[in-house]
């Protein structure tokens, strides 16, 4: 024999069912998410700009080392006309022992080519990127990233 259950009132029957969220609860959660996004979002995107500048500096440093290796082999840096391509493809000089880079010459983090001048105006050779704005000068993310 099974024991009989006492009859339950209408309120007790409904309290056992899963309950959904109210519109007010959903609105409160949406406001909290919006506030967090407004606070964290700008900080996150500022870090992205800083990482692009750091990447450009690291690439310029690697290109400088490859140019120094080129100079050790040939006795001079590539001319402005030969450009950075002389680090990967032989410019037709007898003592060239490249390639001096494992891959093709990288583009800057903003998708543009690095600028190279030899002889340089500010150092033995000038190697730089115009930054996010693609123009000389600038501030913040648009500032030039240079080797001097």
Residue 148 CA to residue 31 CA, distance in Å, equals 48
**Boundaries of every domain in the chain:** 51-143
* In the chain, % of residues over pLDDT 70: 85
Whole-angstrom CA distances from 35 to 42, 44, 59, 108 are: 12, 14, 37, 35
Residue among 21, 4, 113 at smallest CA distance from 60:
113
User: Residue 2's pLDDT band (boundaries 50, 70, 90)?
Assistant: low
Q: Confirm or reject CATH 3.30.700.10 for domain 51-143, answering yes or no.
A: yes
Q: What is the pLDDT of residue 141?
A: 72
Residue 122 in 3-state DSSP?
Answer: coil
pLDDT at residue number 21: 81
> Is the whole model's pTM more than 0.85, yes or no?
no
């Amino acid at each position: 024999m099974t024991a009989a259950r006492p009859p339950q009132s209408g309120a007790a029957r409904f309290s056992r069912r899963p309950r959904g969220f109210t519109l007010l609860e959903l609105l409160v959660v949406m406001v909290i998410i919006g506030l967090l996004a407004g606070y964290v979002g700008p900080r996150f995107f500022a870090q992205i700009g800083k990482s692009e500048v750091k990447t450009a500096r690291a690439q310029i440093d690697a290109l400088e080392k490859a140019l120094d290796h080129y100079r050790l082999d040939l006795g001079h840096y590539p001319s402005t006309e030969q450009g950075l391509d002389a680090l990967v493809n032989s410019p037709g000089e007898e003592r060239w022992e490249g390639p001096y880079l494992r891959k093709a010459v990288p583009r800057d983090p903003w998708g543009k080519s690095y600028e190279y001048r030899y002889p340089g105006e500010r150092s033995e050779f000038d190697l730089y990127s115009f930054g996010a704005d693609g123009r000389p000068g600038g501030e913040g993310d648009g500032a030039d990233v240079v080797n001097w």
